[in-house]
């Protein structure tokens, strides 16, 4: 296990160095804002947007919302019927699992058993949003869990999606807002009418944003220490 742990650390170092090359001149400001408590909740529109999205998810509906990466389709990650509906909207095979967002380490620990220690290092040190595929999923919709019992999870530090997950008190599905096989939209304006007309609620926050976003890194981290880079 020690050898495996060292291998994981080496891979982690490689990933972090690689990600660091993607940093731009605004990274320090972005990191500072992430560490601060959400300061948007005094904004009436922000608060209303979060509340309406939560109400829709509680009723089993599908939302279109901004995340820490690109705009995503979301729903209650414990609701199998809602998850199935997202697969249908995306015209995607259920064998291709989707990502779940949570607001904190504590929330993640409720839905994944025996998380490897190195997972926390990855979440803490990565300089861009990083999704981990972890073994031991529990309490989630069955159609979100892979055949090997793993699930893709990410702790979001984006102010809107973090507040959404915190107030919802459960993981939220996060999958790109596109039909499977088509390009993932980098901005709200890039989202197709087919997707816009398929959801129950479209969040109003950050629609005018012009800075393009990219999907997260994805790393599969097995409980035995094996690591696999799925997407950089």
Q: Is the pLDDT of residue 19 over 50?
A: no
Where exactly are the structural domains of the chain? 2-231
- pLDDT tens for 120-134 read 988 888 889 999 999
pLDDT value for 23: 41
Coil vs helix vs strand at 144: helix
**Phi-psi bin for 49: left (phi > 0), alpha (psi -120 to 50), beta?**
alpha
The answer to whether 225 touches 5, Cβ cutoff 8 Å, is yes
Q: Report the CATH superfamily, name and number, of domain 2-231.
A: DHBP synthase (3.90.870.10)
Q: What is the pTM of this model?
A: 0.81
Give the separation between CA 179 and CA 34, rounded to whole angstroms. 31
């Amino acid at each position: 296990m020690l050898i495996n742990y060292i291998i994981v650390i080496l891979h982690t170092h490689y990933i972090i160095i690689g990600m660091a090359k993607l940093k731009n001149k605004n990274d320090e400001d972005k990191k500072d804002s992430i560490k601060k408590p959400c300061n948007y909740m005094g904004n009436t529109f922000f608060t209303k947007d979060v509340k309406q999205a939560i109400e829709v998810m509680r009723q089993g509906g599908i939302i279109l919302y901004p995340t820490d990466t690109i705009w995503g389709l979301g729903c209650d990650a414990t609701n199998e019927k809602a998850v199935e509906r997202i697969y249908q909207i995306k015209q995607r095979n259920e064998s291709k699992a989707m990502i779940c967002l949570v607001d904190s380490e504590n929330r993640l620990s409720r839905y994944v058993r025996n998380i490897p220690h190195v997972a926390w290092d990855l979440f803490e040190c990565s300089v861009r949003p990083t999704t981990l595929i972890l073994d031991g999923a529990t309490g989630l919709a069955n159609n979100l869990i892979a055949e090997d019992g793993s699930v893709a999870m990410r702790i979001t530090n984006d102010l809107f999606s973090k507040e959404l997950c915190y107030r919802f008190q459960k993981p939220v599905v996060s999958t790109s807002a596109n039909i499977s096989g088509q390009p993932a939209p980098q901005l709200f304006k890039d989202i197709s009418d087919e997707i816009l007309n398929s959801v129950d609620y479209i969040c109003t926050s950050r629609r005018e944003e012009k800075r393009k976003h990219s999907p997260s890194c994805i790393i599969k981290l097995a409980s035995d220490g094996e690591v696999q880079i799925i997407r950089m």
